[in-house]
């Protein structure tokens, strides 16, 4: 629950990933140069479309690994 004392204001700040990564950052350059869509074809046999919850996007996983490596 949010409470407010007299004279005190509550502030909410929205931050996106776009705001956190500088314009000239290496990761932005890599994202422009590499097409990660080939990953979907490579891992298609590992994902089921008919049962269970949807898996985490495999391109996101590869990008996480790349960020960890860099």
How many alpha carbons fall within 13 Å on the CB side of residue 62? 14
Q: Is the pTM of this model over 0.85?
A: no
For residue 36, the 8-state DSSP code is T
- Quick one: CA torsion of 21, 26, 29, 19, rounded to 10 degrees? 0
pLDDT digits (tens, 9 = 90+) for 43-61: 988 888 788 777 889 999 9
For residue 54, the 8-state DSSP code is P
CA 9 to the chain's CA centroid: 31
Q: Which residue has the higher pLDDT, 63 or 11?
A: 63
């Amino acid at each position: 629950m949010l409470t407010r004392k007299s004279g005190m204001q509550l502030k909410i700040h929205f931050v996106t990933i776009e705001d956190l990564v500088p314009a000239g950052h290496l990761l932005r350059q890599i994202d422009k140069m590499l097409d990660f869509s080939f990953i979907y074809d490579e891992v298609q046999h590992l994902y089921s479309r008919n049962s269970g919850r949807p898996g985490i996007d495999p391109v996101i996983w590869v990008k996480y690994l790349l960020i960890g490596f860099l």
